[in-house]
Amino acid sequence: MRKCAIVTGGSNGIGRAISIAIAKMGYHVIINYRSNDVEAEKTVSMISEIGGTTDLLKFDVSKRIDVENSLNSWIDSNPDSRIDILINNAGITRDNLMLWMKTEEWEDVISTNLNGFFYVTRVLLKGMLSNRYGRIVNVVSLSGLKGVAGQSNYSASKGGVIAATRSLAQEIAKKNVTVNAVAPGFIHSDMTKNLNEKDLKHIIPMQRFGTPEEVADAVAFFASEKSSYITGEVLSINGGIF
């Protein structure tokens, strides 16, 4: 039986680093992405270079029917494979002060970040519970823990995933399926490319932004056998911001 992992939003940035880290653990990596074919293929090439194997699975996590059709089709087409690891990484931002926030800015973020977590996880839970093994790792955010001005939508979505992480962990722990989360702070990625690190590093005790690989290493730990007695936890990766 081929052991597989799926990384949503896995084509670039933090998702790419996670995909590579999981491939190094010996898993066949299913890379989900929504639109950027060029970056997705680049991630495939990078994993191939280290001897890993991948599948690309293009779907929008915010679309329930798209999620269910894509995942179930892959599962039906790969009867000799099982998905042991799920990394819910896909996410978007639509920052604005609530006074001026458009309805679609709220709905788009909630649909992708919170509903997407639910749609993907629900499909894959049955297999993990049947196999009595699974690792679910949710990529949340510092915003979901402390709130950030101008990100009420993003903070709400990530805070919701944090709460769901703790609830789901209690539901399925007896089946040897763990659910944990990592909460990155300022990490070099598409989401922070327009931020000035020089201006912001004074609020970070370590005086720098983190790297995608530093997040990926923590995710890989939660996805491994080494974390077998840890569930329902949220690990901050933020250079010491409290």
* CB-count burial class (<10 Å; 0-12, 13-18, 19+) for 126: exposed
Q: Which long-range contacts (CB under 8 A, 24 or more apart) does 223-230 make?
A: 223/5, 223/22, 223/25, 223/85, 223/87, 223/135, 223/137, 224/25, 224/135, 227/135, 227/178, 227/180, 228/176, 228/178, 230/178, 230/180
Contact indicator for 165, 179 with CB cutoff of 8 Å: yes
The catalytic residues are 154
Strand-pairing partners, residue 31, are 7, 56
* CB-count burial class (<10 Å; 0-12, 13-18, 19+) for 19: buried
